[in-house]
Amino acid sequence: MTKTDTALFPSTDLETASARSTLTWTLEDWASITAAGDDTLIVRHQQDAWMLRWVIKALDGETYQVLKALGEHRSIGSRTGKAEPPGVLAGDRLSLEINRLLSGRLLRISVGGAGSAAQLVARPASRTARLALPLEPPRRPVRLSQYVTVRRVADAWEIGSPLHGFVLESRGSCLGSVLEQTAQRACAPADLIEDLTRNVGGEQAVNLLTVLAATGVLGEVDDEGLLAEEGDQLLIQRQPADVMFHHASRLGLHPGPTGATWRFAGSVPPTPALRASAFEAEKMVKLEREGPGGTADISFTEVVARRKSTRNHGAKPLTAWQLGEFLYRVARVDRVVPADESDPKSYECSVRPYPSGGGAYELELYLVIGRCTGVEKGLYRYRPLEHGLEPISASASQCSMLLEHARVVSGARESPQVLVIMGARFTRLSWKYENMAYATTLKDVGVLYESMYLTAAAMGLACCALGNSDSGLFAQATGLRVEEESSVGEFTLGSLPEAGNGAEGSGDANG
């Protein structure tokens, strides 16, 4: 049995993961490390249809032995605890290569085995994942990071933090006490280890706390009781939910699949391209349009130059014809493309004037009419194939609240003549896309905003995109489940005010 001691892996057993060790470093199933000489190793990452390969050359003896042992035995065991400072060459090089393996998601850390009262597996989730080596238990009081999320996955708890780029899989109940205590206050490491030792051995208790701290779940506090993240001038300007959303929807920042995975193909039917309706066709408000060569027949350069946010509307209301022309140019359905029944990944699509992720067109347009000549006040759903308005049985007070909320958000003097609300049918995208469906919806909202702005500019209409609105009011007015369809964008539309009465725009969309 060959052994070596390094600052990074004290008491490391290079032949196998030692039975007495409660912390092990293990290569993932899709990784391999093979020797290609006395100081050279080849690392391969093969998963699904793609492969990565790199050559590590000019390795010092200790680094070579540790990495070679990982490749031969898949796992090596080590103990934590205070270690001597790393050698200038050996420790620094080994730390570098271990972190390269982590950033490639080739290596995991485990504490405790089957039957243990607490099992913990830490995997890198982001290509930016790094560990400060050697792994040592925290010395100062620790507190739970505000970026940590905990959720149940199958029979385990998944604990993650986007800041440090690790995802932890936990089994057993004793870690719950640690998370609960550190969420309430900063706790001394000795107290947490003593608490854990009641359920697991002392060495395993130290290792559990070490991994929780090393992966960013717990952080040491300074003399003022603050975590490093709470003093970071960049982080304090961002909400944890925004950071998590960004990491969850971008490749390289989380471990899960992202993109068109068609995870429900063959098990759940795709959502139809057009929203089903049970309303009576004769009750639909038919909209007219002028056709090509009308008011929008100006140069594109002039259209772009005219584009601006105009929050206040004129005394003369918008007309049903103007509303119909606007909706036709922005959001009509030219044709529906049926799904290929022989392909389980195929789904019904439609062709419309603006682009949409995957051709899904998950956005529905709802119109709250305040003042529009030829259309009664109320809430309507735009029927893009029929080019008409379907009445929604919302109360007058609910419509008034939606319009008033839009006035407050936009900063206008009066409620808008027409409020256009974008509702997203979430399953249109989530059936096909994984981890990026909602991010795609927000991009689609931006695309539709610009299409509306340019169309309104070409038609000489006042318009303004809203930075936010009340999705709860929308849910109450439509009776839709928020999980099924919810408002994700709002846009006011009306006639231009008279010159000298707020005709000029006051900037772009506000919050």
Answer yes or no: is 121 within a domain.
yes
Give the CA distances from residue 497 to residues 118, 323, 360, 382, 504, in Å, rounded to whole numbers and listed in that order.
68, 17, 37, 26, 9
Q: Does 467 lie in the same domain as 373?
A: yes
Kind of pairing between the strands at 372-373 and 318-319: parallel
Answer yes or no: is 255 within a domain.
no
Based on C-alpha coordinates, what's the Rg of the chain? 30
DSSP sequence for 359-427: G---EEEEEEESSEETS-SEEEEEETTTTEEEEE---HHHHHHHHHHHHHHHT-SS--SEEEEEEEETH
Quick one: pLDDT at residue 444?
Answer: 96
Q: Does 321 lie in the same domain as 196?
A: no
Q: Does 358 lie in the same domain as 486?
A: yes
Q: List strands edge to edge, sheet with 156-161.
A: 3-4, 12-13, 75-78, 23-27, 107-111, 119-124, 166-171, 156-161, 149-153
Q: Does 327 lie in the same domain as 222?
A: no
Q: Does 332 lie in the same domain as 240?
A: no
Q: Does 153 lie in the same domain as 33?
A: yes
Structural domain span for residue 459: 261-272+283-495
- SS3 call for 306: helix
Answer yes or no: is 122 within a domain.
yes
Helices and strands (H and E) in the chain: how many: 12, 27
Q: Can you tell me the distance from the alpha carbon of 254 to that of 244, in angstroms, rounded to the nearest whole number?
A: 10
User: If we measure between CA atoms, which residue out of 363, 477, 466, 489 comes closest to residue 416?
Assistant: 466
The CATH number that applies at residue 377 is: 3.40.109.10
Task: Specify the number of domains making up the chain.
Answer: 2
Quick one: pLDDT at residue 345?
Answer: 92
Q: Does 289 lie in the same domain as 217?
A: no
Answer yes or no: is 328 within a domain.
yes
Q: Does 225 lie in the same domain as 180?
A: yes
Q: Can you tell me the distance from the alpha carbon of 367 to that of 391, in angstroms, rounded to the nearest whole number?
A: 10
Answer yes or no: is 436 within a domain.
yes
Contacts of 305 by beta carbon, 8 Å cutoff, 6+ apart: none
Instruction: Give the max Cα distance, the chain.
Output: 91
- Residue pLDDT tens, the chain, 511 long: 333 334 455 444 444 443 445 799 999 998 999 999 889 999 988 765 456 788 999 998 888 999 999 999 888 886 443 333 333 334 688 899 999 999 888 999 999 876 677 889 999 988 888 898 888 899 999 999 999 999 898 888 999 888 888 999 998 778 889 999 999 999 999 999 999 998 888 889 999 999 999 999 999 999 999 999 998 888 888 888 888 888 888 877 777 777 788 888 988 999 888 887 766 667 888 888 765 445 556 888 888 888 999 999 999 999 999 999 999 999 999 999 999 999 999 999 999 999 999 999 999 999 999 999 999 999 999 999 999 999 998 999 999 999 999 999 999 999 999 999 999 999 999 999 988 899 999 999 999 999 999 999 999 999 999 988 889 889 999 999 888 899 999 999 999 998 755 444 444 544 3
User: If we measure between CA atoms, which residue out of 422, 383, 420, 423 comes closest to residue 403?
Assistant: 420
- Distance between terminal CA atoms of the chain? 66
Q: Can you tell me the distance from the alpha carbon of 4 to that of 64, in angstroms, rounded to the nearest whole number?
A: 11
Quick one: pLDDT at residue 283?
Answer: 80
Quick one: pLDDT at residue 414?
Answer: 94
Answer yes or no: is 504 within a domain.
no
Q: Does 88 lie in the same domain as 212?
A: yes
Residue 112 is given by DSSP the state: S
Q: Does 209 lie in the same domain as 318?
A: no
Quick one: pLDDT at residue 91?
Answer: 66
**The token pair that represents 72 in the structure block:** 């031969």
Q: Does 194 lie in the same domain as 72?
A: yes
Answer yes or no: is 64 within a domain.
yes
Answer yes or no: is 505 within a domain.
no
By residue count, the chain amounts to: 511
Q: Does 103 lie in the same domain as 21?
A: yes
429: Cα within 13 Å, side-chain hemisphere: 25
